[in-house]
Amino acid sequence: MNKRYALGIDYGTNSCRSLLIDLSDGREIGSAVFNYPSGESGILTDSRDPNVARQNPQDYLDGLDAVVRGALQQAASNIADFDASQVVGIGVDTTGSTVIPLHCDGTPLGLLPEFKDNLNAMVWLWKDHTSHEEAAEITKLGLEMRPEIMDKCGGIYSSEWWWSKILHLRRCDPAVFHSAFSFVEHCDWIPAVLTGNSDPLTLKRGVCSAGHKAMFSTQWGGLPAKEFLAKLDPLLADLRDRLYSEAHVADTKAGGLCAEWSKRLGLNEGTAVAVGAFDAHMGAVGAGIKEGTLVKILGTSTCDLMIAPTSKPLADIPGVCGIVNGSVMRDYYGIEAGQSAVGDIFLWFVNHLVPESYGATPDEKFANMEKALSGMKPGATGLLALDWNNGNRTILVDHRLTGLLLGQTLYTEAHEIYRAYIEATAFGALTIINRIEAYGVPVKEVINTGGLSIKNEALMQIYADILGRPMKVSRSEQTCALGAAIFGAAAAGAGTVADIQSKVTATREKTYHPIAGNHAVYRELHDLYRALHDAFGTAEWNGKLGHVMKQLLEIRDRQRQPGHASSD
């Protein structure tokens, strides 16, 4: 039996990691992590402006070397007859929009000695928010000139995205802008490096980043027309000629591994390297996304992904972050939604508002609060919260929203509030699902991945009870890297993404099923959540809220009655 392996490389915000899998069954035979050494946990910051978040491209190269060789070493020690030549393909995912200014020879400006001390020449990390004014300007112009483009990105262009960052660089540091011949997404640059072709004009660009962040679509001839870009800045229109007119699905082979990196990594020259994509999109594939399955990446924020076949017409879904043909899988629209803060709300709460009576460390506090809240029935807290401490990404697409907690008495305790925040994030998740279903894409099950899905059983049961659907958990703890490996294998011709996925992905044995009695109570609470959501989140809403506190008290009193058994 000829063993075949595939390698996935996942670039996160603070570190990158590799995963080497057996293509016959998905067994994970090698993995390594590299923490970016530059700045604060890999992020270059500016004490004068908290919005600045940049990275050093050298960290990516050093990390690439370290995690690939680390995984191969581990595989060799795990498997007696392991041979690196059995690695047939390499896939890469990264954060995004993470934008790198390039010299005309394809070298990131940040690697050139003359720019080594200029943050503006470095990589502009996804969470750099210096471009908020440019984002507002692009949104305004887009809604006026190109409403069809804005419909695909939920009606608002973000400060985290490609054109906002490039336009802000043009304005805040014209010298660096002029030195940049072109720009590349991090996810496209790594395959370019591996295949030895960093020529900005010919390196293969992925449709995932192009479609979700750079307003690229074949529907309107690729990137936005020069006419549109020129209104933002004539130099952006010029730049369009030095970008790209084609973008590829990630199962496309970007090229073969070049001689230099073949030598550095100890892999065969010519090994297939797949076109890159974003972490969440490849992670969705690694988690087992298919038609009807929503993949939820539960982290500090969430990313929700669905696919819908391109063979059937798909309406625009108002308020959903992006709909891009091929961004997750070929022949499917990738539908991306998400919540601006989930784990971040819990972290904020535990760090700022949970007293030491729950424990000495955040982990102890979480554990003890989870224990305390697990015994409660839905609604027994009398509390209701909105999950907007960091704004609302889907479906309101409004970062100028804030948190709300309602129903406190003189006896409300911290673990009850924690439960209310968990419920709020689940109601937020349900709101997204309801919106997607309302536009013709049914959501039959949810597969979860990310730390919270593995370690917080109380949260998962509450999610099942609120979403009213089975909640599964992805088997792998490294779904992004696993997804990247799948694309590497597909680019190597080892099968379609769906075929490979069916062999190497799985969910855990434990599935969280909704408990009917709990779900019924949560439907009542969801009506109240929805009233608050619409009242505070929309300009159009006009109605009454005088019933909210009273109904919460009624539900609370009912659910606190000792004989009551709805949650059993």
Residues in the site for a second copy, rule: CB under 8 A? 341, 344-345, 347-348, 352-356, 382, 388-390, 400-414, 417, 535-550, 552-553
Least Å from the CB of residue 12 to a second copy: 20
User: ∠ CA(238), CA(242), CA(245), 5° rounding?
Assistant: 105
- Contact indicator for 503, 358 with CB cutoff of 8 Å: no
The position carrying tokens 């490039």 is 166
Answer for the pair 406, 532: CB distance below 8 angstroms, yes or no: yes
Residue nearer to a second copy on the CB measure, 60 or 427: 427
CB of 235 to a second copy, least distance (A): 31
- Pairing state between β 445-449 and 332-339: unpaired
- The vertex-2 CA angle with 74 and 30, nearest 5°, equals 15
**Taking the complex as a whole, how short is the minimal distance between the CB of residue 384 and a second copy, in angstroms?**
10
* b/e map 403-425, b = 16+ CB within 10 Å: bbebbeeeeebbbbbbbbbbbbb
Phi, psi for residue 25 in degrees, rounded to 5: -145, 0
H-helix segments, 411-496: 414-438, 451-455, 457-467, 479-491
Minimum CB distance to a second copy smaller for 261 or for 421: 421
Cβ 442 to a second copy shortest distance, Å: 31
State the minimum distance, in angstroms, from the CB of residue 511 to a second copy: 31
CA distance linking residue 145 with residue 478, whole number of Å: 42
| Beta carbon of residue 543, minimum distance to a second copy (angstroms, whole number) | 7
* Contact (Cβ atoms closer than 8 angstroms) between residue 470 and residue 445: yes
**If you search the block for the tokens 């309107």, which residue do you land on?**
220
- The C-alpha atoms of residue 494 and residue 7 are separated, in whole angstroms, by 13
> Could you tell me the two tokens for 147?
């409403």
Instruction: For residue 453, give every residue at least 6 positions away whose Cβ sits within 8 Å of its Cβ, in sequence order, or none.
Output: 296, 298, 460, 473, 474
What is the nearest approach in angstroms of a second copy to the Cβ of residue 357? 9
**By C-beta, is 309 or 451 nearer to a second copy?**
451
For residue 418, the minimal CB distance to a second copy (Å) is 11
Other C-beta atoms lying within 10 Å of the C-beta of residue 364: 13
Reading the block at residue 194, the tokens are: 């591996």
Cβ 397 to a second copy, closest distance in Å?
14
**Minimum distance of a second copy from residue 137's CB (angstroms):** 19
User: Of the two residues 40 and 238, which places its CB atom closer to a second copy in the complex?
Assistant: 40
Nearer to a second copy, 31 or 389 (CB): 389
**Residue 82: which of 26, 32, 20 has the closest Cα?**
20
Nearer to a second copy by C-beta: 47 or 542? 542
Q: Which of 314, 195, 139 is nearest to 205 (CA)?
A: 195
Distance CA 349, CA 372 (A): 16
Nearer Cβ to a second copy (45/118)? 45
Shortest reach from residue 414's CB to a second copy, in Å: 6
For tokens 């509390």, name the residue: 383
b (16+ CB within 10 A) / e for 128-145? bbbbeebbebbbebbeee
| CA–CA distance, 457 with 427 (Å, rounded to integer) | 17
Pairwise CA distance, residues 9 & 235, whole Å: 35
Q: Give per-residue burial for 156-167: e unless 16+ CB within 10 Å, then b.
A: bbbbbbbbbbbb
Of the candidates 419, 514, 432, 527, which has an alpha carbon nearest to the alpha carbon of residue 466? 514
- DSSP 8-state symbol, 494: S
If the CB atoms of residues 18 and 131 are measured against a second copy, the closer one turns out to be 131
Give 404 or 506: the residue with its C-beta nearer to a second copy: 404
Among residues 155 and 326, whose Cβ is nearest to a second copy? 155
Pick the closer one to a second copy by CB: 286 or 407. Answer: 407
Q: Which is nearer to a second copy, 48 or 312 (CB)?
A: 48
Q: Which is nearer to a second copy, 113 or 355 (CB)?
A: 355
Contact 172, 165 (CB under 8 A): no
Q: How far apart are CA 127 and CA 130, in angstroms?
A: 9
